[in-house]
Every structure is written in structure tokens, then in C-alpha cells.
Structure 1
Amino acid sequence: MADQRTPVIARAALGAVAVLLAGCSAMTGTATPGEIDVRTLDVGRYTTTPADIENGREPTDGAILEGLRMGAAIVFPHDVDAGLTHNWGTDVLDTPRRTADASAISNVNLPVLERHRMITGFDIAEGSRAFDAKTPAIETDARVTRVVLLRFPGAAAAEAAARDLEATDFAVSPDNQPVPIPGYPAAHAHWRPGVKTIGATFAHGEIVVSLFLQHPNPDIDALARRAAAILDAQVPLLETFTPTAPDRIADLPRDPDGLLRRALIPGPANQQIAISSREFAAWPGRASLHYRPTEPAELAAAWDRGEVDSVANSYTTTLFRFRDDSAATDFGDTWQRTLSEAAHPVSAPDRVPGAHCAERRGATGSPALTRCYVSYRRYGAFVSGPEPAGVRQQAAAQYALLANAS
């Protein structure tokens, strides 16, 4: 086993890196009774017209879109082990190369992935402590669980891939030994005695589940039990997931439930934008849970009460769809009320109902980040950036866009 592997952060998160969004404004619509006339808001040069999301479709979109669908079918490690309180990374792995470079799978397995015609994948890693790029996880007592779902063109290909992935990884060290996983005789797993990690693969239909787990100490029985517990939770999710036929993947909708068209974009509404899992994509249904805040607890509770059922991420905009209007408002109020010690409230955009803004001080040498939350009916959105005035314009534009898209 390649025991020095450390997850690479590839996180789609509320605090995405801030960039300035500039485009052309196009104010449309009129106010309904009880609502402001959004044409009077200061939106700067940001667009307020819903985008045609299908414009600019690329051949590479299909693998990303199918990977996002798989993101709704992957187990969240903290649901199995409550001690895994920190997200170490989550993302679509849409090519064999990205999978070999970023996932729990050793990079010696790139030829295996290519030979068995891997289609796409989804990756999640969580740990019992915060991720520290300066200190390899193996040098700490952290518990780590990483789960990767890999899609292949058929059950036979997946079964062969699971076997070959294990065999290739096993051969990395002459000290590796096979490990049986309780309840899963078809699983392939190994560890290196004295090392506190385990790797395992298990084929279920057209999907291979690849696991990498670290324990505080080299306890192989504990590691094997943890692997079995993950599979116990993962397999039922896969049984409810229907993979898209390979010849239909290219036709998957980019905006399956119409949320991405409502998210503020960096330019005119008719521009062509490539789908990118971390920058411009929809995360509908259970996939939206990848954006659920874990702290503070009050904000997580507001998310749960609000029954978020879809998320769209557009560069520095993250848009949520809640159960109803009051839930969208409650989430923003809770966010403002539970700001961390590193943040403080700042002025919200003029005349945008219920808007909240805050500034969070940056790390040493980094600029402060301004973030605003706006809600319109059952939708709520965060926008962010380093320039407070520009972020307020983004917030006003996002509010107007939601009104125009209704």
C-alpha cells in the first residue's frame, strides 16, 4: 500500500476563492405587489437576465454531469463515523488522469483506469481533524476516510477494474498483505503491517467503490470493520442509483432543475460557459448536501430546517433552494447572527430586502473577504469578493436576477 498518500483538497465550498465578476447589466421585469422594482437597484455591470445554460455545451460536459449525479449517491463518511468532523475534499473526477492524481487510488493505476475505460468518478474525504497540507496525515493520529466512486461501461468492466486496481496497488510494496472485509467476500483489500492505513475496492454493478482509511494506530481489525461499515452504508445508496447509459451521457442536462440559470454569472447572459464541478455547476437533490455547513451548529440546523433540495455554484455565487420563503430568510438571519470572531457585519446593498453582509479578515498577506446573503422567495444566495462595493452590487444583481427568473 502507498501509505504516504494524502488527499488533495478539491473542495466545492461556500467560501470559494473570490474573483471579481464583471459583465453587462440587463434589467427586465416589473415589480409585483409588495415587491421592489428591481430595475432601480444598483447592480453595476452585473447581468440580471437568466442565462441560457445549454449555450456553450462542451464534449467534456457529460462526464462532469454524470459525476455530479454520482455525488448524490456517495456515502458521507461522517454519517458512518461522527468523529469525522472535517471535510478534506470533494469533487468530480472526470478523467482517469485526474482520478489517478487526486483520489485514494495510487497513481500507478492510471493504465488500469484507462484499460477498463473509466467514464467518471466522484471523490469525498473527511478527517477527524482539520486538513493540514504541511503535515502528512500518516504522521498524525487522525482518522481519515476517503471514498471514491468510479463508473465503468458495464458490470464486467467494473468487476475486472476492482480486481486489477487492487492487484496493481498491492504490488507497490512486497510487505503488503491481503485483508478480508467482514461481510464482503468479493471485496479486495490490503494493508502493510505496522502501517495504520487500509485500501479496498468493491464492485457493485457498473461502479467500483474505492476506499482509503487511516486509523489512529495500526489496528487491522478496526480498519477492516470501518471499511465494512462504509460499504454497509454505501451499497444501499448505489442500489437506488441508475447510471446513465454511456451513449446518453453527452445529452445530460446541464441545469436539471433550473437553478443554475438563476445564479449570478460573470458576464452577459448569452455567453458560453463550460460546466465545471467547482466553478459552474448544479448540485441537485442529495448532492446538495456537499454544501451543507457543519458549523456553527445553529447554521447547520437552519439548513436542515430549510430542507435545501438543490444548490447551484457559479464562481463566487452559491445559490440554494429552500422549502419555502421563510426558510430562505431564516438561513440568512442565522448566518448573520452566528458570524465567527474573524468576521463582522458591514453595510448591505441599499433597498434589497433582508440582505446581510459581513467582512472576514484575511490570512496574513491576504485581503479581507466580503460576503453578502440575499433571499428572494424560496431562494437564498451568497456572493463574495474582496471589494465591498462590488459585492454589494453582486448581491443586488443576484436579487434582481431571482426576481426576473420567477
Structure 2
Amino acid sequence: ETDDAGLKLVEYIRDRLGNEMLRIVIRTGQPGMAPERFVIDHYDIDDYKDKTELTAQRLYTTVRSALKAFRDLRTIDLNRLGLAGILDAAPEIYRISTRSLNEFFQGVLTQVIGLCHLDDSTFLSTIDGMVATIDGQEIVVQAKSDTFPTGERFEEIRRLCTEAVLMGTLPPGLRANAMVLPLRGRGRPMGFIYIEPTAQMTDQDRGLLEVLAYQCSTALENLRLHMNVLASHNNAVDMLAEVAEFKDKTTGQHIARIDTYTRMVATELGIAKDQAEVWGKASRLHDVGKIGIPDQILAKPGPLEGSELELMQRHTDIGAHILRHDEFFDLARKVAYSHHERWDGTGYPLGRPSSEFSLLTRIVSVVDVFDALVSRRPYKDAWPAEKAISTIEAGAATQFDPDVVRAFAALYRRGELDEIIRSAVLPDERAAPL
């Protein structure tokens, strides 16, 4: 052992291990070799003791003081970790809240239990919990841990937690080591988070969980508002689409089939299911501009000619004009405006290659023509599906995006479109043969 072995150990603990929490007291029998002022100034230690002054009583006092200092530092560090955990959890909760209620509640439970596991020496290593919502008299458990109690105990916990949230007090029957975190929005109860056991949690731990519960309450309220807005938007889309279809009574549920076709082709091309749903909804407004087309044009029993055709083609401009004011309709506006553009640039209204437009637009271009071919219209009988798909395939790389055509044809060949094709007729007509 060298004379400076103790100082080297301090350097190793602080610099190499990066441990700043450990309390270190140096005890030396050679104060001349390491002067007290120099050591205190240059080394991260808590005290410097000469062997001659370190009696049994002083040693006890020194150790107890160091342990208390460590405890206080550990409390501060756990609070720091807890706050960091809340800061980390908040973006994740809000990210989840843009998706679905199921994902949101499971995410909330995960974040709460995760916060409990920040330090297993203080928080418990095994935490059970559940998240429930309250809507009037209805209490719905939205998420719970795999090991959460079941049966009568589960029902009892749910009832008692509801009483705790509504009454503001912890009723008899809940375990003393349980914790109920209310979820409130605008002063009214929206639900609760229940966790157990919590016997080893400190007041600071509980306070951090309450902060996280508040974040969850805010996120839940925002999610519900978002879903209400989304529902209103979807209702507006459906109403506009139905108005357009009511105007053109000859199309027979055309928009519903275009929605379904669009979602199926998008998924076939690798688009995520939730995005495909959005695309399907937007596709429903592709012909909304027909609201501005005279009835005699829409219902003409023969082909359109000259000025009639020019007037019909204006439905793309009219549709884009109708949808121009609201960002929610931006995707639908682009589809309404450009779904008659062609792959070779000879379409309308701009006469530009459809490769310059979105994949959604190119999908709608294909499925719109196919559905028109297999449906009976005032100017034509319904085509057999095989003839229609052959026409679509023949238009690849001239009228249509070849990739979209391949995806649509693959769905057709696998028989996945049969049921939709059978519905592509007016209510009093029979389906064209497949």
C-alpha cells in the first residue's frame, strides 16, 4: 500500500466510476504527507480525520452524519429521477393520445408503473394497477396489469375506487397500502388510476405520481376533445359525400365502394392500416363537385359531347373550391381536384402526369374507373368484372399508375373484391357476372 492509496481510491470512485453519491471520509495517520487544506480543496470528500482525534464516539458520529447526508442526497436524486421520468412520460402520453383510447390507457398504466420502478430500493419491484373511466353511472376498466386481482376482489376494488374518486375520501375496504389517483377534467371526475402495494413509497414518491396523474388527466381530456373533433369531421365528410351522391342518384353507393376499394389497395401497397382508413375517408369526397353539375348532364342516358363534357369536367374545380377552406379537408380537396389526371399527362384539369400527384389520388383514379365500369349507369350497362379489370390493366402506364394497377388486380385475382363488385349495382338490379 502506498502513502497516497486513499487519495487514489477517491479519484477512482469519483472519476472512474462516476459515483458522486457515496460519502467519503479520509482517516489518516500521516497528516503531513497529505495536508488537510490541500486534500479538502482538491478531492471530493466529506471530511478529513486524523487517527489521533477519531475516538469511538467521533467515529460513530462521523458515520451517522455521512449516512444521513447520503440519505438526503439519495432523496434529492430520486426526486430528480422522478421529475425526469414525468418529463419523459409526458411526450409519450401525448404521442399515444393521438392514436386510440385503448393505446392511451395502456400507455398511462405503463408510465405509472414505470415511474414506480425508477429505483427498486425505494419503490417496490412489483406493482399492480388498473386504469378506469367514469361516465355517469358507467365505470369501465380500460387497462390493468396482468397480475391484477380478478373475480370478486376485482369488482370490490373497482367499486371502492369509484367511491373514493366521487366522494373524495378513501373508503374502508381498500388496502392501506393502495393508492387511488383521480383523473379529473374541468373539475369533474373522468376516472382513476389504482396501484398497489405502495407501503414502501415515500410522500415524495406519491407526490410525483400525483403530478403524473395530472398529466394523464390533461392528456385524456385533450384526447377526448380530439376524438370529438375527428368524429365531427368524419360526420361532415359523410354528409357532404351523401349530398353529392343524392345529387347523382345514378351512382348507387359509389362513394362507399370507393372508400372500401381505396383502403384495400392502400393496404396492399404497404400503407399502414390507420393511414389507409384516413385515405378511404378522404376518397369519399372525390366527386363532391358534382353538386354543381346540372341534373340533365348527370342523368343523360347517352355519352356526353362537346360543351356537356366540358361542363362535367368542371366538377373537379368545383369540388376543390368547396373543400378549400378547412385544413381537415385538404387531403380530400387534392383528391377531388386531381383524380382525373392521367399517368401520361393527358387528363384534366391540369393535364399533368399523375405521378406528380399523391399515391392516394392515383389509387382513386383506378378504383373510380373500375367501379364505374362494373356499375350500371344511364349511359351504359354494367360490364362483367373480368372485362373491367382487363381494361384497367390495359390502361397501366398510360392512364393509370402501374403499381396501383398491379395491386388492384392482385386483390381482384385473389377474390377479395368479389363482394364489393356484387354490390356495384342499383338496389333493383342484379350484379354483373364475375
The question of a shared fold, defined as TM-score above 0.5 by the shorter chain, is answered with no
Structure 1 or 2, whichever has the larger Rg, is: 2
TM-score by length of 1: 0.22
Structure with greater helix share of residues: 2
TM-score by length of 2: 0.21
Structure with greater strand share of residues: 1
